[in-house]
Amino acid sequence: MKPHVAVIAAMLPLAVSPALAGPELASKHYCMTCHDMEKQKMGPSFKAIATQYKMGLGCEKEDASAKLTEGILEGSKGKWGKIPMPPQKIPPADAQALSKWILGC
């Protein structure tokens, strides 16, 4: 195998794997426009989201992460007040990574 082909082959998994979640991914998808880590903005804080979704569900069951991922992709109405969260047009893998990051799972 030629050296440049080997380098490309070695880097391919990095190009197709989902992004690591964190503030950078949240900023990339404009989550930080409406949400903050600790304080309520237009939407609830990530801390408040984690608290509500983890109550009675828990990370080990994946229920909390699945429900939050669904909420990100499909949007929600009436959970956090009068302002609805519109469905987010982001890759499902990014939504799942963000939900696990928010929940600390």
**Which of 4-8, 26-30, 59-63 is the least confident region?**
4-8
Domains contained in the chain, CATH given: 20-103 (1.10.760.10)
pLDDT confidence of residue 57:
64
Query: Nearest 10 degrees: CA dihedral of 52, 81, 67, 92?
Result: -130
| pTM beyond 0.85, yes or no | no
What confidence score (pLDDT) does residue 58 get?
Answer: 61
For 83, residues 6+ apart whose C-beta sits below 8 A from its C-beta are 42, 43
Q: What is the pLDDT of residues 40-92, one digit of tens each?
A: 999 999 999 999 888 766 666 568 889 999 999 999 999 888 999 999 999 99
∠20-22-26 over CA atoms, to 5°? 105
Cβ contacts of 1 within 8 Å, gap of 6 or more: 9
